[in-house]
Amino acid sequence: MNQEIAVLMKDITKVFPGVIALQNVTFSVKQGEVKGLVGENGAGKSTLIKILTGAYTADSGEIYVFGQKIDNMNPILAEQLGISAVYQNLVLAEHLTVAENIMLGTFPTKWGLVDKPAMNKKAEEILSQIGYRGIIKPEERVGNLSTSQQGMVAIARALSRNAKIIIFDEPTAVLTDREVNELFRVIRWLRDSGRSVIYISHRLEEIFELCDTVTVLKDGAVAGEKTVSETNQDQLVAMMVGREVRHGIFDDTRKIGEEILRVENLSNKKLKNCSFALRSGEIVGIYGLVGSGRTELAKALFGVDPVESGEIFLNGKEVSLPNPRESIDSGINLIPEDRRREGIALKLSVKDNINLPVYPRITKAGFVNRDKEKEIAQTFVNILSIKTPSLTHRVENLSGGNQQKVVVAKGLASQSRIFIMDEPTNGIDVGAKEEIYQLINNIAREGSGVIFISSYMPELMAICDRILVMRDGRIVADVERKDFDEESILALAIKHETMVGGETGGK
């Protein structure tokens, strides 16, 4: 087979405020090959793909498509060049039919009207190429199809646009094993028909089943490139890890005291028999990939998501936490993953945000004690050194780091003893991150327990006493600080079990 280079991205560098997302990354895909792209969260996979599809512009570097240098890549040009991405959350119009989705923007027309028979016929032809003639009907509404069938429609849409390079970003996260096999069959057909496929996945065994070659990214740089037949999972994991862990953040002067929280066999739709304990003064990390259940565990503990079975004990007493109010009153606080969507009310003042969880305490006969309100806000603005011109300043005008501190202030103001922090350092700059780490240490030093959820392992390794590893809604390991090892923790989180109750440990 002709092995012409379909895409060559050369020395790509992309800098976001405060972070270097990609540094001199060179990545190429040959015609008729399936190329795996792996790396931990934040390694730069999505950024690289977004540059290829023209959603982002690289700060420096060159892109060649079939040997032709492309200077100003943009989404329209990318499509014209035959680059098409089938995203994790598909972007199909659910209310339109299969044929309309496939042909959207290129409708065959007759006298200015859409020629429906021609459109359906064309769609049918494309569907039959990937073996779906008669299985997916062109007249069917896309909203009525299963997720995997919708994925096929997305592939058909790419084919109708003459796609030569097709990108799959975590396509199997929501599919069953059978659907995965079906998808792989279609991807192999794409390859055999001379197209190029870029396949991004966390599931390494899929890389070995499907891909010809694989590129590993780490911290925005290429950690290596391998021919799949000449490597193994352990080698890839070893290439993904090895990121620098900041020393000197860990605080060994903390006094770890009594158990303040114990969770036994907590289960719901997303969680399976999660059990763990937290002691006062302790910082426990939770590591897991996206979809491993870490955020769901936080939400179940905080009374946001329902608990179907299992027990929660606070200071040895069993409690039920049916809603956030109950949890806050019991001394639990959640710092949510999505700060802007769940953590703060952007249009309200710093003062109102900090006091939001504590109004019941400072309200008499419905009226807020305004002196107390100001005092509380001022106290925590001082303690956390939140940079704001005044207490009545709107939170939307603060920097990301200061917004995050406002969220932390809410927890402190409600006198919590258990802090669940879900990705607290997400989207804030390096200096602010450092401050958040110190804050976590301070909170623990005061005798509270902290559950620190993160997908960035170096920060967990830097600050935590223990790390719980989650995968598929389970806590699969509880790693003590002395046993911290990026490679083994990553392996625990990443290896997809095909048999339940299979392997349990290390590499």
Give the interface with another protein as residue ranges (CB under 8 A): 302, 304, 323-325, 327-329, 334, 336, 341-348, 352, 355-357, 359-360, 363, 366-368, 370, 410, 414
By CB atoms closer than 10 A (0-12, 13-18, 19+), residue 486 is buried
Nearer to another protein, 137 or 299 (CB): 299
Contact yes or no for 211/228 (Cβ under 8 A): yes
In angstroms, the CA 51 to CA 78 distance is 10
Contact yes or no for 463/469 (Cβ under 8 A): no
Minimum distance from residue 352 beta carbon to another protein (Å) = 6
Q: Phi first, then psi: what are they for 8, rounded to 5°?
A: -130, 120
Nearer to another protein, 30 or 410 (CB): 410
Return all residues near 446 (Cβ < 8 A) that are at least 6 apart: none
Minimum distance from residue 244 beta carbon to another protein (Å) = 34
Nearer to another protein, 39 or 343 (CB): 343
Minimum distance from residue 415 beta carbon to another protein (Å) = 13
In angstroms, the CA 8 to CA 216 distance is 16
In angstroms, the CA 381 to CA 354 distance is 9
Minimum distance from residue 427 beta carbon to another protein (Å) = 16
E strand intervals along 102-194? 109-110, 113-114, 165-169
Q: What is the three-class DSSP state of 15? A: strand
Nearer to another protein, 353 or 441 (CB): 353
Nearer to another protein, 370 or 387 (CB): 370
Nearer to another protein, 254 or 405 (CB): 405
Q: Phi first, then psi: what are they for 384, rounded to 5°?
A: -90, 5
Nearer to another protein, 97 or 414 (CB): 414
Q: Which long-range contacts (CB under 8 A, 24 or more apart) does 343-348 make?
A: 343/403, 343/404, 343/407, 344/395, 344/403, 344/406, 344/407, 345/395, 346/394, 346/395, 346/396, 347/394, 347/395, 347/396, 348/394, 348/395
Minimum distance from residue 411 beta carbon to another protein (Å) = 10
Minimum distance from residue 130 beta carbon to another protein (Å) = 39
What's the token pair of residue 3?
């092995």
Minimum distance from residue 321 beta carbon to another protein (Å) = 11
